Every structure is written in structure tokens, then in C-alpha cells.
Amino acid sequence: MAKFSLENQVALIAGGSQGLGKEFARKLYQEGTNNTVIVVSRSQDKLQRAVCSITGLETALELSEDARNLQHEQQQNRIFFASCDLAEYAQVEKLYELLAACEIVPTQVFLCAGGSTPGLFKDLSGRELDLGVRVNYMTCVNLAHIAVRKWPGSHLVFFSSEVAFFPFIGYSQYAPLKQSIKSLVAILRQECAPQRISCVYPGNFDSEGYALENETKPTITKEIEGPSDAISCAECCDRICKTLKAGYDDVTTDFIGWVLMSTDMGLNKQNNVSFGWPLQWLLGIFANLIIVPIYMLICKFQIRQWRKSCQKKN
């Protein structure tokens, strides 16, 4: 099983132009040693800005066959960008061919691409629904498929969400896809052993995506979520790295996420490797018997009151 390290790595980061993807790229480039970092997303402009922000240089290096020479001469960290729509399998195949031509074999693959558009299901557009599937699942499954076939020695780090444990009103465009990633991870751990496969379930963290999310989030969604201070992107990344270094592969970034994971652990779950998992099992039994049923009654009451207030406004 591969140990997580910030040294001597070739890291391919999907969704690397902003948010956690960009933060992992920054950490590997600025704090690591002898690393090659390749950040990938759809927007070439955003990738260039992200890389320049990380390096402090005015220009960014695009991945090309010239990178092979830089790789062979490497005595320090390198960072490249490659624009690719990971939701299109043909483009992911071209990305693999480019990496192969550059003689680059990733040792770490971070599947960070994703984004939420909160809203009631009936109010979402067809484009928003399609974008939810493409950005939150297809970007992940396409790159993962290439990785398990071509780079079996790489450490795959999937990114799901806390709402995968507790989906609720307002997240119909997002939560089902994050649950799908959780299921995919369980299956790949069975099919692709001994390849290390981790899954991160972040809570709220301050990023461009989080700010946009709050613009469309329904009031009832905010009410059920309750008050929650988003941690910084850097702090979120640090917590994930610390947990991965400790050898855990199911990672939460705050206490509520750890508790929610405990309610989701049952006899049908495969190879769950999280911090304090024996305690999570015991807590999950207690919570599912007593706490969860009461909390769900509270949620139903909140939703019923919200519906009444909506009807009065109409």
C-alpha cells in the first residue's frame, strides 16, 4: 500500500484551477520536494492564472512533449497545466497519450473536480442537472478508469462530500453524484487491490465554489445545515494530508462529518478505513437507534413549516 507523501511525487490534479485542487497543487509545489505537478481543468485561462499564482511567475508552463526534457533534468519542483474536459472520455484518453509522450506516470491522482448548484429539484434547469452529472461524476469516473488501467501503482484520492452520508433538501443536483462516488470507491477497492484508493468527504471550506453555492442555496437548506463556519481551503487541505499520512483512506475534515460517517457504517460497507472506526461503529448503532429518528422528525417539522410559509407568500 502506497504511503502518502509530499516528496518525490508525480501528482495529477483534476479540478486544479481553484478550490482544493489548487490548494493541493500549491502544497505539493511550495512545501514538497522533487515533485512534478500537473493541474487539469476545462479552462486554460483559469489554469494559467492558478499556476502563476502558485509559482509567483508571470508565465505558466503548458504540458507538452518538451516537459520530458524538463523531467529528466529535474532537481526541483515542476508544475504544468493541461486543459481538458474530463467529462469527455475521448479528451481524457488524449490527456493520457500526452502524459505517456512526456514519459510522465502519475504516482498520485487527485479527483477534485466538482461543484454544487443548490436549489429545489423542480427549479433546476436541464443544463444544471446535466452539469451536475458531468462535473461531479463523469469527470471522476473517466479519469479513474484511465488510472486503474494505465497507472495501477498510483494512489487515487477521490473527493465526495459529507452530504453523501446525509442527503437533504436543496442538494438534488449534487448529493446523488457524491453518493455515486462513494459506491464507486467501495467497488474499486474490491476490484483493484492492492492499489491505494482513498475517499475524502469534505465539510464546508472557503472557496470560489462555496461562495457561488451560497448564492442559490434555499433558506430551508441553510436552516437544516445550521450555522457552520467554513474552514480555509489551506486548513482543509492540511487536515486531509495529515489523515492520509496517518494511513486512513476514508477522510472527513470536521467532527460533524466524522459523526455523519458513523451513521452510514453498516455490515454492507466494504473496507472502511477511517480514524477511530471502532468507535464510529458503536456511535453509529446508538445514533441510528435513537438520535437519527429524532433528528429526522425535526427535519420533517422544519420542512413542513417552510412549505407553509411558502404557501402563505403565494
Catalytic site positions: 160, 174, 178
* Cis peptide bond upstream of 278, omega within 30: no
Task: Say whether 233 sits in a helix, a strand or coil.
Answer: helix
Strand ordering across the sheet containing 10-14: 61-62, 78-83, 36-41, 10-14, 108-111, 155-159, 197-201, 250-252
At 284 the three-state DSSP class reads helix
Torsion angle of C-alpha atoms 226, 229, 235, 238, degrees rounded to 10 = -10
H-helix segments, 63-174: 67-72, 89-101, 126-133, 139-150
Whether 245 and 4 have beta carbons less than 8 Å apart is answered as: yes
Cα angle 36-39-40, degrees, rounded to a multiple of 5: 140
> DSSP label at 171?
B
Could you give the angle at which helices 44-55 and 19-31 cross, rounded to 10 degrees?
40
